[in-house]
């Protein structure tokens, strides 16, 4: 018959468990301390790098994107840093300026596109509005996406809608688009014609007629789509926010 462990053995086992626990905590604290030191060294090196390549960061959009990615990897956000070293770069001011110009373009084009504009078209309009003067930094689509994040303070009035193949729409109207509405925009973009029909949605998305019609009716009501009853076999739904993209793809 196996004997049960005595009180002394149980006490000894408990002490060993506590010892291992304390040792584990000590190791974790040491690892955290080492990691903190490494991140601090990385941050200092990043500041030195930014100081050395300040002009290139401000002028070269691709270099600027890579730099902000490096910052993000250690939890540094130069866009949100308005004081200290990072304010010298002026990166935050640059993106705030772009954000304001995004709002201006969206408001100016809202009457014809219903509050949806293709990111590529937005960039073209911004470049034209800013002019080609030397003091203006070159902007990329990545810059626009970064600046658009600043507009989240306005709630869901401004958001980015991915429509596939690396293309995005900037939404500047209150209310979020549902998954169905985004799927409709993706189909209109894929077709290359900036329009869809109810039967197309039923076929490509395997939707029931009621679901397809409900999505289309909502988008027409919100001014995001134009209803065309002169289609050859059935009504078509055109999306003015995709016109430029389709024109470019056909040339």
pLDDT of residue 20: 67
CA distance 42 to 54: 17
**In contact, 118 and 245? CB cutoff 8 Å:** yes
pTM passes above 0.85: no
Same fold, 56-72+88-175 and 177-251: yes
Architecture of domain 177-251: Orthogonal Bundle (1.10)
pLDDT of residue 79: 59
pLDDT of residue 134: 44
| CATH 3.40.50.1980 matches 56-72+88-175 | no
Strands (E) located in the chain: 116-118, 159-164, 167-171, 195-196, 226-228, 236-238
pLDDT of residue 185: 94
Domain boundaries, the chain: 56-72+88-175, 177-251
pLDDT of residue 1: 47
Per-residue DSSP letters for 116-164?
A: EEEHHHHHHHHHHHH-S-TTSPP--HHHHHHHHHGGGGGGGGSEEEEEE
From the centroid of its chain, how far is CA 71?
17
DSSP-derived letter for residue 169 is: E
Q: Mean pLDDT for each consecutive 10-residue tract of the chain (251 residues)?
A: 57 69 69 70 72 73 76 66 52 77 88 90 87 64 84 74 87 83 92 90 95 95 90 87 67 48
């Amino acid at each position: 018959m196996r004997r049960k462990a005595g009180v002394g053995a149980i006490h000894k086992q408990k002490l060993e468990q506590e010892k291992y626990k304390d040792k584990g905590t000590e190791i974790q604290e040491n690892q955290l301390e080492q990691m903190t030191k490494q991140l601090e060294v990385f941050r200092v090196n990043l500041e030195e790098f930014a100081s050395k390549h300040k002009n290139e960061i401000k002028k070269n959009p691709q270099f600027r994107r890579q730099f902000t990615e490096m910052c993000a990897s250690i939890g540094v956000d130069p866009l949100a840093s308005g004081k200290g070293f990072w304010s010298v770069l002026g990166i935050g001011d640059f993106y705030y300026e772009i954000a304001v110009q995004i709002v201006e373009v969206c408001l100016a084009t809202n009457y014809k596109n219903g509050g949806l504009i293709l990111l590529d078209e937005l960039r073209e309009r911004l470049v034209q509005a800013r002019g080609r003067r030397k003091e203006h930094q070159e902007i990329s689509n990545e810059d626009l996406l970064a600046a658009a994040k600043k507009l989240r303070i306005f709630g869901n009035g401004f958001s980015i809608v991915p429509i596939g193949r690396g293309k995005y729409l900037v939404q500047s109207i209150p209310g979020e688009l549902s998954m169905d509405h985004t799927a409709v925009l993706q189909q209109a973009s894929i077709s290359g014609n900036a329009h869809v029909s109810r039967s197309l949605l039923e076929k490509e998305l395997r939707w029931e007629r009621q679901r397809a019609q409900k999505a289309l009716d909502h988008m027409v009501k919100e001014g995001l789509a134009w209803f065309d009853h002169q289609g050859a076999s059935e009504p078509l739904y055109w999306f003015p926010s995709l016109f430029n993209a389709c024109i470019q793809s056909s040339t």
